[in-house]
Structure 1
């Protein structure tokens, strides 16, 4: 089965090389052209965060590829934690907490091109790109405009105070996940507040029908991306969130069908088909016994139409044995699993 899987994955990679990129697609670095990059939090007090790389063809994880491409540089002191990574306009943006920097890499080479060492509150959360020259950085003390030309921060966005984690842009709106105010929506042109939509603990993804999704502890929030109207769908399970980690929330959407995937508890994934309440009744995937999600825990490979799940045998990630599981996003069938060893504390796969 794995031999066939490798051929299928290679075919998907060739298709990816020939297809056009949209803003939310993953750009595969040319030197690391048969897999994906994972943000490693680092081993607190011993090693700073880094990037690890999983190669589908070799079924192996190459550790510390940021350090390999940037000799003498680190992603912060060993008392910081690198948590978040995303790819925007052929650049990789990395954000961390506890004194970690805001770092920009060339997505083709992984070479560092710029950084901001001292962030507001000394505590970063996430980054979202707005256009060719603008982005936003969320922190423990609010949200700050980023000049992408020279990587400088502007004054805090007015009306948004306190900790903000996830951010997502859709059309003329930017969705923020505020600890104090829940879902806050900004106008993309001037960062003014368009609307506040209520409590949430997780977000954001956009389903094939154009709706933006977030979640409270027991409800999914379907948000019309234009009108900002909200419908609440009660789940039959608790929505997973971790208030102490600041990687992207543990939910993903499929570009191939109108479906979203949400982690519940430490070991379950639900697949919700909008409008089909019964799809919330039964887990789509349950991790093998003794495995627990760590960090974001889930990633959608848009080219191959598979879910990649990241787990550890210790609920806090403190075991040397890390696991990757590859599941069909259509059927939920397990396609392959791979073990890699090290105290990496994997935060998330780059989106």
Structure 2
């Protein structure tokens, strides 16, 4: 593996004091090379300004993230625990988010197909799968009852206000009560999302529409986009959207139905002209991969992962953009068949 850097500038915001080896930076979740090796985590260490490869196996040399036929597709941090969901075979692995030492695992997934995780409280989470959503006990780690109000192939999930918003291939966006998991509302035709904005409201897309759902009233507002958006259901991946915590804005990657894209749009709430043109256009020969876009609130940066092909590639780049201006601040490059799925921030 080769790591190179360019366009380097000093960070504008000092990072908070680290409380563990993996506190001051962010994780890159790599799917792994299907059929050859499992997925793993890279860590960008801001203290050293360097990218550290395969940190999960470094900290847990006697553990594995499933078989080479599985894919590490989704990871989330909840209450200082890092939950790694390995698609197509499992396992679900839990680590300390600051030391990366494994603290728990569940070898098998319902239907052999885990997708996403959402923490509800200290004892309970939700596990999104290819066959619906399951209650997940966190202490100890165990699959419990299946939710009856969400069926079929499930993707991203967020909690906002009193409700949980769940992306479903069969039903669009399903809204359920976060207390008793009862059905609340359905929004049909959703392609991307959900993500939660700085104002607590929820964003999704439906074809060429960007929809904001008021988390208190569930009323919706729609903005017309100059692009068509596509879902990731064909080979599920986390949604290609991110939100800012410095301004009321949402970022949308222009992907194809299966291929990556080169443009990222930024919608600033109540400013319809903000999406008249791309906020960021990737360099020639680079294409978004996986979720592709993540937001680092500690530094107001947009982190974008790319590969050197529309469908595949062995040159992986991590771009650091100023999330307010779109200015490219820095680029990291690592070579190999890693397939970056998403970025995860403390």
Common topology (TM > 0.5): yes
Which digits, 9 at most, give the CA deviation of each residue in 1:77-127, with x for residues without a partner?
Answer: 000001000000010001121112111111121111111111111001100
Aligned match of 1:349: 343
User: TM-score scaled to structure 1, two decimals?
Assistant: 0.91
Within a 5 Å distance, the mapping from 1:243-262 to structure 2 comes to: 243-262=233-252
Structure 1 unaligned blocks of 5 or more: 18-27
**Is 2:9 the partner of 1:5?**
yes
Q: 1:150 aligns with which of 140, 150, 162?
A: 140
Change (3 A) 1:293 1:29: farther
Counterpart contact for 1:250–1:262, Cα < 8 Å: yes
Q: 2:279 aligns with which of 284, 299, 309?
A: 284
Counterpart contact for 1:139–1:163, Cα < 8 Å: yes
Change (3 A) 1:29 1:250: farther
**Is 2:209 the partner of 1:207?**
no
Structure 2 unaligned blocks of 5 or more: 256-260
**CA RMSD, Structure 1 to Structure 2 (Å):** 1.8
More helix by share: 1
**Is 2:331 the partner of 1:337?**
yes
> Take 1:2 and 1:179, find their aligned partners in 2: how far apart are those partners?
40
Counterpart secondary structure, 2:14:
helix
Aligned match of 2:270: 275
Counterpart contact for 1:60–1:340, Cα < 8 Å: no
> Take 1:55 and 1:245, find their aligned partners in 2: how far apart are those partners?
30
> Take 1:313 and 1:29, find their aligned partners in 2: how far apart are those partners?
36
> Take 1:101 and 1:89, find their aligned partners in 2: how far apart are those partners?
20
Structure 1 segments (4+ residues) deviating >4 Å: 1-4
Aligned match of 1:175: 165
> Take 2:334 and 2:22, find their aligned partners in 1: how far apart are those partners?
18
> Take 1:320 and 1:72, find their aligned partners in 2: how far apart are those partners?
27
Aligned match of 2:258: none
Question: How much does 1:59 deviate?
Answer: 4.0
Which protein has greater RCO, CA pairs closer than 8 Å, 6+ apart?
A: 2
User: TM-score scaled to structure 2, two decimals?
Assistant: 0.93
Within a 5 Å distance, the mapping from 1:182-331 to structure 2 comes to: 182-265=172-255, 266-317=261-312, 319-331=313-325
Counterpart contact for 1:182–1:199, Cα < 8 Å: yes
